[in-house]
Structure 1
Amino acid sequence: MALYITDECINCDVCEPECPNGAITQGDEIYEIDPNLCTECVGHYDEPQCVDVCPVECIPKDPNHVESQDELMEKYETITAALG
């Protein structure tokens, strides 16, 4: 399941550099997560790094992008293969 950033985002800039897949970018009003790049840090870390650093806890799981751990790992492998 990908993550998403809610309207509670305060644009503090701490989540974007923590994303190993480059899934987080500045949107028109708040930061946004590209569900095609978000693996919840599967393949990189045990926990989503953006969630760990967010001071306002505004990054929940996205119910519109449900994925299993295996699917997240497949996405991670596809992303890293494309980069490498």
Structure 2
Amino acid sequence: MKITIDEDRCRGHGVCCTVSPEVFDLSDDGYAVTEQPDVPQEFEQAARSAAKSCPERAITCH
């Protein structure tokens, strides 16, 4: 599974980091980033939950 973060939509709420800290982090500017756009299988469910929890709907799992 791949993760895409829409940088124009992200507002830095950090919900994704709380739900899935193994996949998401905040940049120095306070916006969501991921070091692993290809999510390991063991973190897929957490990444999907983080995407669903994003108030701006900035995260896509595909």
Q: Output the TM-score relative to the length of structure 1.
A: 0.54
Query: Structure 2 unaligned runs (5+)?
Result: none
> How much identity, in percent, do the aligned residues show?
17
Q: What is the total number of aligned residue pairs between the two structures?
A: 59
Q: Work out which of the two has the higher radius of gyration on C-alpha atoms and give 1 or 2.
A: 1
- Residue 68 of structure 1 corresponds to none
Cα pair distance change 1:59/1:48, threshold 3 Å: same
The structure whose residues are more often strand, as a share, is 2
Query: Structure 1 unaligned runs (5+)?
Result: 63-84
The Cα shift of 1:36 comes to 5.9
Q: Output the TM-score relative to the length of structure 2.
A: 0.68
Cα pair distance change 1:10/1:18, threshold 3 Å: same
